[in-house]
Amino acid sequence: MTSPDIVRRFTDRLVVVTGAASGIGRATAARLGSEGARLVLLDRDVPGAEATASAVRDAGGQATAHMLDLSSETSITEAATEIKAAHPRIQGLVGCAGLVHVDGSQENPFLERGLAGWDLLFAVNVRGMAQLVHELVPALTSGRGTVVTVSSEAAYRSRAGRWIYDATKAALVSVTRSMAAALAPEGVRVVGVAPGGTITEMHLQDHDDPEAARARMRTATGSNLLGRLAEPEEIAAAIAFLASDEASFMTGTTIAVDGGGAGSR
């Protein structure tokens, strides 16, 4: 689903992408790489991030892959220190890394499992991203960069089974607004996307046959106005717009990219 007329809005711009080993992060790396960005790709799945970097380079782009575990303050500091040393000016930071599973399950019902997974999900989905942004502020300020957070339509839903994940995504919408206020005087924009259901490994890893599950997801109707789920490239396209100068008057906002899901409920 790549546009035939892709422009090159990121030529010579240094963009950091977390969660680049898989799903929306991998699609974002491919999109930004095709538009000329120099990419620093981060993930706890280093072989996966290496594979994405290799695919970007094979397509003519520039990318390196590095370890990042957002559940570890030490890992975040190490990654940020390495990035700042190599790249004192960065123009973009896209936070695609995210976690929905606790102990192998996407469902962690409030009544049955209580707060199991609270600390881990908040560490990965909220705290880790906030720490990474904070540590990269000098480089983002020097580069007049843009931060893009990846929340979810889940931020606005009421689900007993995924209540902690949903809360992390609501928190990220708030953090996006607050960081935008803090960083506007530094010349740094902070914006977010809230995707609807998207066909990625996040939903496929529970299945014995992930490719059969992917095919089923492609024919699923989805609870939105368009009646289908998103491909990760469609979320990446919105992220690329927000990270580009075309969104120069946007900050603090989180835009829905959900097939009209928010409007259909």
Q: Which residues bind ligand NAD (CB under 6 A)?
A: 19, 21-25, 43-45, 48, 68-71, 96-99, 124, 150, 152, 195, 197-198, 200-202
CB closer to ligand NAD out of 37 and 70:
70
Please state at what angle helix 23-34 crosses helix 46-58, rounded to 10 degrees. 30
The active-site residue out of 10, 156, 163, 165 is 165
Hey, is 194 helix, strand or coil? Answer: strand
Cβ 204 to ligand NAD shortest distance, Å: 8
Given the complex with ligand NAD, which of 22 and 146 has the nearer CB atom? Answer: 22
Task: Identify which of residues 140 and 202 has a Cβ nearer to ligand NAD in the complex.
Answer: 202
CA dist 250 and 252 (Å) reads 7
CA 179, CA 167: separation in Å to the nearest integer? 18
Q: Which is nearer to ligand NAD, 73 or 186 (CB)?
A: 73
For the question of residue 156 being annotated catalytic, the response is: no
> Closest approach of Cβ 6 to ligand NAD, in Å?
21
CB 173 within 8 A of CB 190: no
Q: How far is the CB of 187 from ligand NAD (least distance, A)?
A: 26
Q: What is the DSSP letter of 223?
A: S
Assess contact for 90 and 83: CB atoms under 8 A: yes
Active-site positions? 165
